């Protein structure tokens, strides 16, 4: 017996019968991601998570883990707690939390979620968990931005996955910089990390 995927079948039906220029948001979701959902209930739950996040409603931890397809007792649950705190303090949006689950950012390393302020109301929050060596990070910064390598001091753990996906905090000539996802920002030198333990809490400088 062939196992039929509900989301696939519904997507095929929409493509065959709907006016593709006038699709509803739900129909667009089905066409884009229907193949991920084997049942009607799971498909509707998946769309509900997206619907909430787009309207500024923070999805629950259970919804976050369902979107990420991660277990309750893993690191992803801690990642959600860190992100929820950032939403509460206004550093990220509810939709950002959804994206961390959807694109599986930092789900294995909640400690990678570090944020720096780079404007009056602007925060840069890490979404890359691929760690690299500090010396390698220094060379990359020099090659990308033209800083003198001998004057660059890497701060904290540098993360780099691609030319447009990185989070590298460094100092040069008494100025604090952050290279994040292809952009370079001057930042406050006080990082905000996950609360708890002996790690610095938001608003306190790391040792």
Model confidence pLDDT, tens digit, residues 168-206: 999 999 999 999 999 999 998 666 665 543 333 333 333
Both 91 and 129 in one domain: the answer is: no
Both 1 and 18 in one domain: the answer is: yes
Both 125 and 95 in one domain: the answer is: no
Domain count for the chain = 3
Both 11 and 81 in one domain: the answer is: no
Both 34 and 65 in one domain: the answer is: no
Both 202 and 168 in one domain: the answer is: yes
Both 46 and 105 in one domain: the answer is: no
Q: For position 195, what pLDDT does the model report?
A: 55
Of 70, 95, 111, at which residue does a domain stop? 111
Both 100 and 46 in one domain: the answer is: no
Q: Give whole-number Cα distances, 125 to 37, 46, 55, 109, 201, in Å.
A: 30, 25, 21, 14, 15
Both 73 and 148 in one domain: the answer is: no
pTM, 2 dp: 0.87
Q: For tokens 């939709």, what's the residue?
A: 95
Of 111, 142, 176, at which residue does a domain stop? 111
Identify any residues that bridge with 160 across adjacent strands, giving them in sequence order.
166
State the pLDDT confidence band at 207, using cuts at 50, 70 and 90. Answer: very low
Identify any residues that bridge with 185 across adjacent strands, giving them in sequence order.
178
Of 55, 79, 100, at which residue does a domain stop? 55
Q: For position 2, what pLDDT does the model report?
A: 47
For residue 53, pLDDT beyond 90: yes
Range of 67's domain?
58-111
- Residue 200 is classified by DSSP as P
């Amino acid at each position: 017996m062939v196992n039929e995927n509900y989301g696939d079948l519904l997507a095929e039906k929409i493509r065959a019968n709907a006016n593709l220029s006038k699709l509803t948001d739900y129909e667009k979701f089905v066409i884009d991601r229907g193949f991920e959902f084997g049942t009607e209930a799971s498909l509707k739950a998946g769309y509900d998570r997206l619907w909430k996040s787009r309207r500024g409603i923070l999805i629950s931890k259970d919804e976050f883990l369902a979107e990420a397809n991660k277990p309750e007792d893993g690191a992803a649950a801690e990642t959600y707690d860190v992100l929820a705190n950032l939403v509460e303090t206004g550093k990220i949006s509810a939709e950002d939390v959804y994206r961390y689950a959807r694109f599986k950012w930092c789900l294995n390393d909640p400690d990678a979620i570090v944020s720096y302020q780079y404007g009056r109301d602007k925060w840069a929050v890490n979404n890359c968990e691929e760690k690299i060596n500090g010396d390698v990070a220094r060379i990359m910064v020099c090659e990308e931005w033209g800083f003198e390598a001998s004057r660059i001091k890497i701060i904290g753990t540098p993360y780099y996955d691609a030319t447009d996906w990185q989070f590298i905090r460094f100092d040069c000539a008494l100025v604090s910089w952050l290279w994040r996802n292809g952009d370079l920002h001057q930042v406050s030198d006080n990082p905000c990390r996950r609360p708890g333990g002996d790690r610095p809490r938001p608003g306190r400088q790391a040792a």
